[in-house]
Structure 1
Amino acid sequence: MTSRTDSALVSVIMPAYNAQATLADSAHSVLQQSYSHLELLIINDRSTDGTAQLMESLAGQDPRVRLIHQENNAGVAQARNAGIQAAQGKYIAFLDSDDLWMPDKLERQLALMQEQGCLACMSAYHRFQVPGQWLGTSRPPARTNYKKLLKGNVIGNLTGIYDCEKLGKVYQQPVRHEDYLMWLEIARKAGDICAVPAPLAAYRVGHSSLSSNKLKSIQWTWDIYHRHLGLSAPRSGYLMLHYLAKAVLKRL
């Protein structure tokens, strides 16, 4: 695919905390996109390693890199929010500083959004510990919406992109599963969210990853239903059953 520099700007939000071992690869997977009209906002969440110096080096190599330095270590939600607030693009997309994009990720998603008239889009993604050695692939449905998304999150945050010019900027709350709560709000505004069936990103599986703690994940999901969305206990319980069933099927 060819580079397109005369189209809408995409703002890519990348929080970074002590990410000197992986940040360069993640950033390059963004900067080497076939869709080149983008800005990469890297938010340093008060790192204590060489992340800040690496960020400066990346910005010196490519003018599309914009740097934000947090005054305090406030967590991933606040770091992403700082990037969202500073974003200048029509579209907002997300990639963490240890994950990767395939080279045609943005181009394929923007083409599908235009073709189907969607205001938000996701894709399949690989899971890995060693780049190129995929542990498995998560594949979303062809389309989802708010009602369906309540029954379980099918949007990998590293694959999501939305039209903030039409939907407005949607910020994350400082809760566990902050990306799920954000995508629920985006889905509420956007209607249908479309999906590219091909894997366009790769998620690094860490042994100490918060999302790998399944019991805590169940509690966090319940809190989203019952506390943050204000759903009744019976309704929350009904949705939890769907969430658990999807979690089991995902591992089969």
Structure 2
Amino acid sequence: MDHFAAKMSSEEAKAFIEKLKAEGLLTEENRIVWEMIVPERLKRMYDVLNRRTRYITVLTEGVDDPHNQSAVLRTAEAFGLQDVFVVTGKAPFRPNKFVTRNADKWLNIYQKPDIATAIKDLQASGYQVFASYLGEETIPLKEMDLSKPTALLFGNEHSGISEEAIRLADGKFMIPMQGFVQSFNISVAAALSLYDVTERARKIAGERYYLTREEKKEIYEKWMMDTLNPRVRKMIEIGAIS
């Protein structure tokens, strides 16, 4: 998180803390945590939380380049996604902290053992899975139906998505291009795609686009813990501070 919200007066800070209590985000149980965080940071996290979504998510398959892994995470966080799903390829999943700029700190990242499990789990959770693909039966990105929760699937930098992913996906999409090149780098494709689908999905889904009250509480508590100094966080976790 790069900056705080504007400086609050003591009266503003007190009123804001009471607001968070009323919404169930600050409780007696987590008082030891939130009392260590300045109100401006609590406000910054609160503002971001209220724009967060699980309506749109990203699934990557076999993205081996750490730079690309990192860029996708940073892009997903920037557009307000909360969850990213990963199926590793030949290389382990090791995002570059310099590239992510700590974006992964604010995300829930789920690693799945294989693409079939990943797609089927998403579908079982109510998502339709659309794969970025240049073959047959592919629709332009802007024609994608976003009336239900949607996961965008992006594949390996060189070979794209697997045949199994193509078979299991609910649909396939492409970003129309006007030049000689046929495809974008995955980080660019993810950025262009997420800009379009998040803009449209917010309008289509309305309140369904945003997190539920329960999801907000769970995520806000995690963010508060994660924003603390690691040594302090460890002491709270083991009960050395109470």
What TM-score, normalized to structure 1? 0.32
Bigger relative contact order, structure 1 or 2 (CA pairs below 8 A, ≥6 apart)? 2
Higher normalized strand content (fraction of residues) = 1
Higher normalized helix content (fraction of residues) = 2
Which structure has the bigger radius of gyration? Answer: 2
What TM-score, normalized to structure 2? 0.33
